[in-house]
Chains A and B, each alone.
Chain A
């Protein structure tokens, strides 16, 4: 079933259920939207995507309104643009002005939106809430001051991942994201899957940044630093440096890492091989010699293991193997390179 409608005078026919936002894209009309993430259901939280129904003059949201037969829609007029701009200004008034020191600088959907609307100053009061940073997991960093309440993280955490670590607390202007019932993220059911940070449009949830720490360690002459790269990195990294997508850069990465000061560069494949050998041995012990429970379920993703252990009651240890992470082991390497184990520092890169 399809529906026929008009957007900015352009006749369009789309499958029934297509949102106005998606339909407009098909005729190359960009309706600005901030809270809507292409992979997720609409949360209808920002209101920037409003469009006007020509017949009634009413405004409604393009992200969550399906196009209906006979609709005649205007996506841009002076009032609509002013309202959109007004909303972005409001969101900015509650968002810290810390772009240059934010890890999402130049990679932030709110920053882009602000630039798109040429918002250079605003007469709205600055009402950034005073809320503490949560770095307790050392995996994701939660800065609730920067949250724009789009609801994406909550949707992925609760609905998609079924983890229920993040929630909206309070209401109205006090609404904020917080780990379940105001505890630290480390104490929460969070499994550090990173889906929240991957979907966050701003710097409210970002991956914990160990960069400064790595640089410190690299510069310490007492330390012996090694690094490993995950399999995907060798190709995925290219685009950021202007290479043609798909270019294999293993050699260049190795060279760069050595110049940075790493004493040795591993491939995660190496660690994975070791892990498989160990897991295989453990499986044989359990299966053939009855030493331990079955089944034995494994993954090299720590979030997956955490999830299984927290949420699938029968899968608590010892269902997961003693060792499932393909990171090189200090003792093994220190023997081979004759470095003191205590001076070893290992770092890993993933995409």
Chain B
């Protein structure tokens, strides 16, 4: 997630997808991969390269859950809300984290350190409830320990 991505990246992304039909979503994945979200200017620029109206880009970005319009915090905490995780206490985990961080799911802390979000089933139901912190997966999490576990993951990062 490079913050210092620039126009050169955009041109590369556009070049990679320009000749493939219907590649807008793939190009947006690449864009978000570089920036961590889809900045408005970048979307506009990408649209020019791909010859896609901004209207179409926003229709798509706001339809799909995966795309973010604002820069998330440094650490992304995702609480799985699949059925197994839900039954095994994911709501309590969300509540605990939300309480501790002072933000609701889908929000970023004011100091931009943490972004708390709910995610759809990540397919690890056997390990429910599951929380991911950036790339790290925490399995069989208990609401009582979750805050410490999350902090442990982000220490030094």
Contact = CB atoms under 8 A, between A and B. Distances in A.
Interface in B51-87: 53-59, 62-63
Contact of B53 (A170, A171, A180, A182): A180
A168 interface: yes
Interface string A159-178: 00000111111110000000
Nearest to B54: A180
Interface in B18-60: 40, 43, 53-59
Interface residues of A, number: 14
Interface residues of B, number: 11
Contact of B59 (A165, A168, A189): A168
Given A164-B56, A167-B58, A181 B63 contact: no
Contacts of B40: 181
B96 to A, nearest CB: 27
B47 to A, nearest CB: 10
Contacts of A126: none
A interface: dominant SS? loop
Contact of B58 (A158, A182, A189): A182
A167 B56 contact: yes
A196 to B, nearest CB: 13
B55 A164 contact: yes
B55 to A, nearest CB: 4
Nearest to B58: A181
A164 B57 CA distance: 11
B41 to A, nearest CB: 11
B62 A165 contact: no
A179 B53 CA distance: 12
28 contacts: A158-B53, A158-B55, A164-B53, A164-B54, A164-B55, A164-B56, A165-B55, A166-B55, A167-B55, A167-B56, A167-B58, A167-B59, A168-B63, A169-B58, A169-B59, A169-B62, A170-B62, A170-B63, A171-B62, A179-B55, A180-B53, A180-B54, A180-B55, A181-B40, A181-B55, A181-B57, A189-B53, A189-B55
Closest 5 CB pairs of A and B: A180-B55, A164-B53, A181-B58, A164-B55, A167-B55
Interface of B: 40, 43, 53-59, 62-63
